[in-house]
Structures are given as structure tokens and as C-alpha cells.
């Protein structure tokens, strides 16, 4: 009930809440400050069931959908245990702190890895010239870069590589080896010097969204730093040899011509990739060869001067397996590779594999395309018995052969 001129008027619960607030606001304007104690209403308005002996007005929450809690009126009273409380005021220093932490991470990486990044200049035959980036991975002057950066130096009559370090020293270098299938190359400095070196990290520990820093010499601008994140992992692209390069890192750290061969570095200061490619016309889609691949290729190039891969002597292409054939042969996979030709005297020819055979699996691992076939013939299989499952005339059979090292530019 609300009494006006001594007449009682019925009023709903929600209206009573609004009425109390209005009365309270008016009373605050009408009454002198000395007429009430802190947190209380004027004495003449201390009535009704919503006023406690201390003059505090407590109203049930009327805003929003959650009506379970109580709150104290704006003037006077302390919220009870169920009342929503305002969070801490935003600290204007938080953004500055985060920005400073980001800057600190990038500058720390640059200070640690930057001295190990070099510029490579290549003078090929017939006046062909090129340049790119590289990263020193051992103090005695081993430099990892891209194959396409130093390809001109592999031509007959090409000059040696010219290396410019971050501190401005100019050194000569020779090519130790290259692997077109992974677009990696290894060079060694000629001079007897001790150089700052970068450590190769474990690219398997990378996560999408992780901060990475690219350092290189794009378009001749030396020691350029860009930063971004790991956009994706496990990408695949075709190398210049036509082979599929697996386990590439996709990043949005800006790369330009000249960045090729430079390091992609994680925030903890280890090289997790070697920058290799961009997609022309796209923005923020760049790729780096994973550090674990780099370590494998680096070991092969140091030991053998090349990356050894197994060879069985066939040329093959992917083919679809019709449902009827899969049912009759008891095959689950929907595709495999069909042998197009067999090299005379090869391991495949020695065990009777002929054109038209369909390769289903190697050592029990399904082969669904030419890339699976190439990927399965790694250097570890050289000289080892390998089981090849084939499909011929609707029947499955398994033959055993011993792969040899693949000759240069040979088929699988």
C-alpha cells in the first residue's frame, strides 16, 4: 500500500521498488545533510518493510534476468552475500605491460639470433646473380639456406658464395651440398673464423598461435625483422624438383624475396624453421621448412654431401580403385599407384614387377598416391628387405626386394 493524502492505494511489488527509489531520491534533495547519518534516509521516510533500523533500503534486483540476488540502494546500505559486486577497475597499465612483454620477447630473439643471420650473394655463369639469407648453425661457419638461393652457384663456371655477416664482415663460402627435394642447402665459410651460431629447436613442440620472428634480408634490406604467429602446421608444397615437401610451417610473419633461407625463430630463441616460400598475390601466407626436417637433411649433407633416398626403379601414378575391384580383392583403400614403367636392372625388375601392377602397400603401410610412395622410400630403407604388396589381375600378392640408393633425378 502507498498512502497519499491519507488514502491507501494498492501497488505491485515492482512498482513499490520504483516508488521507494523515487521517494529516496526526492528525500535526498529535500533534506539537509545534517538531518541524516551517513548511509541512511531522512528520518521522516524511515518506514515500510524495506527499511531496516539503520535506515538502509534494500531492494530486490529489478534489472536483467537474474533476480536471485539482492543489492543495496545507491545511497546507504552494504550488499549482502548474494549481491553482484563490481569488478576491479581496469588498470590502464595492463595494455602497456602486455605490449612491453611482446616487445621484450621480439627484441630478445633478435639480440640472440640476429648476429647469426647472414646475407648470401651468388654470382652464377653468364652474369646471373642472386641473393638471399642464411643462418649460421655452427661456430666454424656452417650455414643453412635454401636450395633455390644457391642454385646458381651449382652451375659449372659459377663463382663462390659471398657471405656478409650481421657485423659487416665479408667472407667467402663454398657449397657443401644441396637437396632440391626439400629446398635446403648447406654452405661452409672458407676463412678460419669463429662465428655466432643459432640453435635448431624442436619444431614438433610448436603450436598454432605461437609467436615467431623472421629475420632476413628482403629486397636487399639487411637484418630486417618481422613478427607474427604460427598460422598452421603440417602444410605441404611442391619443391622445384616436383617432390612434395611435408611438415611445412605456415606463418603470417611478413616474408619477401630475399628472406628465403633466413630463420624463423620461436620466442624462446631457437630456430624452428627456415623461411622458404610465399604465395604471390596473397597477404600473410608464408611458409618455412620445419627445423626437424632441417636437422635430418643437415646430417645427411654433412655425412654424404647429399640426402640419400631409396630407389626401386619404377615410375608410377595415382589410380582410383573401383568399388567392385576393392570388394573382390578385399582392399579398403580407394586409391593406389599404378606402375607405368620399370627400369631394367632395377630392384623392381628383379622381383618381376611389371607395368600395370598396382602398388597397394610398402611394409604394410598403405600407398594411396605417388607422394606416399616417395615418402615411404626414405634413406633408411636402402639395403634393407622391403615388402611390396601389389594387385595384379584382381589378386593380391607380396614381393620382397632390397632398395638401392636413388640415382640423381631418377624415378621412384
How far is 326 from 360, CA to CA, in rounded Å? 11
148 is catalytic: yes
Asked if 321 and 336 touch (Cβ cutoff 8 Å), the reply is yes
Q: What's the sign of the alpha-carbon dihedral 56, 58, 62, 65?
A: positive
Mean per-residue pLDDT pooled into runs of 10, the chain (412 residues): 52 57 56 47 45 44 39 42 49 64 90 94 76 94 93 74 93 92 93 94 93 91 92 86 83 90 94 87 85 92 89 91 91 92 94 95 92 86 95 93 83 66
Catalytic residue among 148, 179, 181, 372: 148
When the candidates are 1.10.10.10, 3.40.50.150, 2.40.10.120, 2.60.40.10, the CATH number that belongs to 93-307 is: 2.40.10.120
How far is 280 from 149, CA to CA, in rounded Å? 18
Compute CA distances 103 → 96, 211, 213, 223, whole Å.
10, 11, 11, 17
Catalytic residue among 133, 260, 346, 376: 260
Domain residue ranges of the chain, discontinuous segments joined by +: 2-72, 93-307, 310-405
What region does 269 belong to: left with phi over 0, alpha with psi -120 to 50, or beta?
left
183 is catalytic: yes
Give the pairing type, strands 142-145 and 184-189.
Answer: antiparallel
Catalytic residue among 56, 121, 179, 183: 183
260 is catalytic: yes
CATH 3.40.50.300 fits 310-405, yes or no: no
How high is the pLDDT of residue 44?
45
Q: 305: which residues sit within 8 A by CB, 6+ positions away?
A: 176, 177
How high is the pLDDT of residue 95?
64
How high is the pLDDT of residue 200?
95
Q: 38: which residues sit within 8 A by CB, 6+ positions away?
A: 76
Amino acid at each position: 500500500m502507498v498512502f497519499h493524502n491519507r488514502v491507501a492505494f494498492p501497488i505491485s511489488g515492482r512498482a513499490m521498488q520504483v516508488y521507494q527509489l523515487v521517494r529516496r531520491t526526492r528525500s535526498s534533495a529535500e533534506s539537509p545533510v545534517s538531518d541524516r547519518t551517513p548511509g541512511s534516509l531522512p528520518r521522516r521516510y524511515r518506514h515500510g518493510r524495506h527499511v531496516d533500523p539503520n535506515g538502509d533500503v534494500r531492494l530486490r534486483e529489478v534489472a536483467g534476468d537474474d533476480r536471485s540476488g539482492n543489492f543495496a540502494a545507491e545511497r546507504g546500505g552494504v550488499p549482502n552475500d548474494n549481491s553482484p559486486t563490481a569488478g576491479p577497475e581496469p588498470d590502464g597499465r595492463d595494455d602497456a605491460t602486455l605490449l612491453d612483454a611482446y616487445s621484450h620477447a621480439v627484441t630478445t630473439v633478435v639480440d640472440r639470433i640476429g648476429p647469426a643471420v647472414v646475407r648470401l650473394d651468388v654470382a652464377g655463369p653468364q652474369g646471373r646473380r642472386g641473393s638471399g639469407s642464411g643462418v649460421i648453425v655452427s661456430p666454424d661457419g656452417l650455414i643453412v639456406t635454401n636450395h633455390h638461393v644457391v642454385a646458381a652457384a651449382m652451375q659449372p663456371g659459377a663463382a663462390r658464395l659471398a657471405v656478409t655477416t650481421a657485423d659487416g664482415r665479408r667472407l667467402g663460402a663454398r657449397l657443401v651440398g644441396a637437396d632440391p627435394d626439400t629446398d635446403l642447402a648447406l654452405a661452409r665459410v672458407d676463412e678460419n673464423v669463429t662465428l655466432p651460431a643459432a640453435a635448431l629447436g624442436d619444431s614438433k613442440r610448436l603450436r598454432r598461435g605461437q609467436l615467431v620472428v623472421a629475420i632476413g634480408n628482403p629486397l636487399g634490406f639487411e637484418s630486417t625483422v618481422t613478427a607474427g604467429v604460427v598460422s598452421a602446421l603440417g602444410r605441404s608444397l611442391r619443391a622445384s624438383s616436383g617432390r612434395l615437401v611435408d611438415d611445412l610451417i605456415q606463418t603470417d610473419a611478413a616474408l619477401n624475396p630475399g628472406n628465403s633461407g633466413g630463420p624463423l625463430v620461436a620466442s624462446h630463441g631457437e630456430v624452428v624453421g627456415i623461411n622458404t616460400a610465399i604465395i604471390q598475390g596473397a597477404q600473410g601466407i608464408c611458409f618455412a621448412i620445419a627445423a626437424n626436417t632441417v636437422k635430418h637433411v643437415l646430417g645427411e649433407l654433412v655425412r654424404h654431401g647429399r640426402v640419400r633416398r631409396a630407389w626401386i626403379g619404377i615410375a608410377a601414378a595415382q589410380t582410383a580403385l573401383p568399388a567392385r575391384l576393392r570388394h573382390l580383392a578385399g582392399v579398403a583403400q580407394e586409391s593406389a599407384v599404378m606402375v607405368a614403367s620399370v627400369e631394367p636392372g632395377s630392384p623392381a625388375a628383379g622381383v618381376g614387377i611389371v607395368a600395370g601392377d598396382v602398388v597397394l602397400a610398402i611394409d604394410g603401410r598403405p600407398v594411396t598416391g605417388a607422394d606416399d610412395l616417395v615418402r615411404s622410400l626414405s634413406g633408411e630403407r636402402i639395403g634393407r628387405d622391403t615388402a611390396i604388396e601389389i594387385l595384379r589381375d584382381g589378386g593380391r600378392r607380396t614381393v620382397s626386394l632390397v632398395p638401392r640408393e636413388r640415382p640423381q633425378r631418377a624415378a621412384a
